[in-house]
Amino acid sequence: MTVLIPLVIKIVSPVVGMELGIILSVDGKMSFQVKSVFMASRFNFLVLCSLWFSASMAQVPLPVPVNIRAAMDKGTRTASGQPGTRYWQNGADYSIQVRFDPVTRLVSGRETIVYINNSPDTLRQLLFKLYPNLYKKGVMRMMSLKPEDVTDGVTVSNVLIEGTATPVGSVRGTDMGVRAAATGPGQRLHVSLDFSYTLNKTSHVRTGQVDSGSFFVAYFFPRIAVYDDVDGWNRNPYLGSQEFYNDFCNFNVEVTVPGDYAVWGTGDLVNRHEVFSAVCNQRIDAAESGDGVVTVIDSVDLARRDYIHHADSNTWKFQARDVTDFVFAVSNHYLWKSSSLVVDPMTRRRTRVDAVFNPVHKDFYEVVDFARKTVEGMSYKFPAWPYPYAHETVFDGLDQMEYPMMVNDNPLDRREDAIELTDHEIFHTMFPFYMGINETKYAWMDEGWASIGEWIISPMIDTSIVDEYGVGPYAASSGKEIDQPIITLSTHEVGESYFLNSYAKPAMGYYYAKDLLGDSLFFKGLHKYIADWHGKHPIPLDFFGSMNVGSGRNLNWFWKKWFYEDGYTDLGIKEVRGGQVVIINKGGKPLPVDLKVEFADGTVKKIHRSVGVWEKGNTEVVVPVGSGKAIKKISLGSTYTPDSFMKDNVWVGK
């Protein structure tokens, strides 16, 4: 879709007076309408050509794939990045009763779904995601499993659609199709079914048994796949590497486990006074209302076994609204430390942070502090947006994975590693969960943010940390065959290509944009994006457009160079002359220029230029050093500059 923006420019001159109406389209094309009051034809031609050239150079179009342009034409998306007036997304209400047996690892349950079709289309089938089928014998997967963890997959039975028994359709890997009664725009569809599968004991891929008495149970229930305005049904299979894409839904979940197990999960535990002891509930109340750290379950509680309601089994009831997933974790021997903080100074709303862990893992005793400082940093510093959920639980598991209001983190030996892992995974609360990112296609739209979040927040927790996660690998791989443009769909990437394009490279793109715009404009752009798209499903052009509109700066030249185009990261010192340093960009990628100038008298000067120095497409930039003193040495580069060739980054005076 082309959006035309009229702009009138008056040129007043003794020779010519002219109103020049320029009509700019958002995709960079231009047309002109000229009203001549008095003009010399040659002068008018030169002015017109000059204005056209300058304007066309200033407007760099970003590629628009035909499926996304079709969504724009239908009014669900806009070329400027805001949701269209006809934007829609589907959703559902899930009521799930699930039973977990720690001895057999059997997960079994029944769910009732009310699916809401907000699309303009009539749906005649449903597509379900059966994520535990990653462990099913014979399915395609992108990692190896131990033979003992390969199962028969998810068993689905007793399917009812609008009360009518319905046969299970074809199951291909993690996708299951089911024929359904025609569901028109605005209609609701009622579905119920039974499900069961065996949780993996080892081969821990984001879910599974942690130890003999602890388990992290994720992706356990059949869910209706996303049907969106860009692709229709999300038919990308879950292969274990690329992650997830789910609708925003409401969950009422009842988890039944043996009576000596505690359960933590997404959402609010609405019957905690029925399952926890009075003492534990008092401690939870204290943690939710105060800034200090409270030990909710301590070693004495574990020894006495009196912190949970005595029964053969207990049912733990959770409610979560407007979230993309529900997960739970159980243990019969974990400690629990908790605290809370004000995340929204306007409303005084608080978020509770929890660390639930094995007493033998000493690094976890500090995790509640790391988690609390992460939530604080996110709410007030970066992205400077009030933490959106009521609680966040870091569970001591065997992975490094995020879920709505939950984190599954493995123990680590080094304190700085524990800090970086904790803040990285918690940062995912915003991306993908609050923002509804399609991680399957656009991993960089969430992992890149978690990476820059880790870079920025880790030093807030421990000032000695210099977190350069991913920078070295990108420098080593830049420009090689595996170095593909970031915009490449994640479904088309594996191994190092997937890692670079999901984590380090987009994080640098965000970091450089922040530096270029300055904090004030950057946060205006980022907050515009968050405000417009939280609870929805943004795609790359929505992000780029929102940042441009919110900041008031068109950064398409940078988005295109960094996210869409080839090139490699290589700056060098070409020459030093008369107190000036000439920097050459040999690889074409826009990198910041950081110089450390060491003078003969022992003084040092640091000079910084943002990526903005490359906006005009130039390959060289001259940086004045000044001072007039003799220069001993000049070094080029910084922590977040992944220069692929360092031999020309140092100049030594004679």
pLDDT one-digit tens code per residue, 634-648: 999 999 999 999 999
Residues ≥6 apart with Cβ < 8 Å to 369? 293, 339, 461
Same domain, 607 and 538: no
pLDDT the model gives residue 9: 34
- The closest of 424, 559, 594, 551 to 486, measured between CA atoms, is 559
Residues 526 and 577 in one domain: no
Per DSSP, 181 falls in state E
Q: Has residue 305 been placed in a domain?
A: no
Last residue of a domain, one of 564, 579, 594: 564
| pLDDT, tens digit (0-9, with 9 covering 90-100), for 606-625 | 999 999 999 999 999 999 99
- CATH number of 639's domain: 2.60.40
Task: From residue 598, give the alpha-carbon distance in Å to each of 149, 621, 635, 637, 651.
Answer: 60, 20, 8, 14, 10
Cβ count near 643 (within 10 Å): 22
Residue 264 near residue 354 (C-beta atoms within 8 A): yes
Domain final position from 59, 77, 106: 59
**Is residue 317 in a domain?**
no
526: in domain: yes
Can you give the residue range of the structural domain that contains 559? 473-564
Tell me phi and psi for residue 266, to 5 degrees. -65, 140
- How many structural domains comprise the chain? 3
Q: Are residues 576 and 559 in the same domain?
A: no
For 375-399, what is each residue's pLDDT tens digit? 999 999 999 999 999 999 999 999 9
Residue 514 lies in a domain: yes
Q: Is the pLDDT of residue 187 over 90?
A: yes
Look at residue 654 in the predicted model and tell me its pLDDT.
81
Which of 564, 590, 625 is the last residue before a domain boundary?
Answer: 564
Q: Tell me which DSSP letter residue 74 carries.
A: H
* Shared-domain flag, residues 585 and 557: no
Is 60 exceeded by the pLDDT of residue 73? yes
- 50 belongs to a structural domain: yes
Q: What is the pLDDT of residues 139-183, one digit of tens each?
A: 999 989 999 999 999 999 999 999 999 999 899 999 999 999 899
| Whether residue 613 is found in the same domain as residue 554 | no
487 and 528 fall within a common domain: yes
Predicted TM-score (pTM) of this structure: 0.91
Let me know whether 497 and 555 are in one domain. Answer: yes
- Across the range 480-491, mean pLDDT stands at 97
Is 50 found in the same domain as 17?
yes
Q: Is residue 9 part of a domain?
A: yes
The C-alpha atoms of residue 392 and residue 179 are separated, in whole angstroms, by: 38
d(CA 116, CA 96): 17
pLDDT-derived band at 497, boundaries 50, 70, 90: very high
Residues 478 and 552 in one domain: yes
567: pLDDT confidence band, cut at 50, 70 and 90? Answer: very high
Which phi and psi angles does 448 have, rounded to 5°?
A: -65, -40
Q: Is residue 309 part of a domain?
A: no
Residue 499 lies in a domain: yes
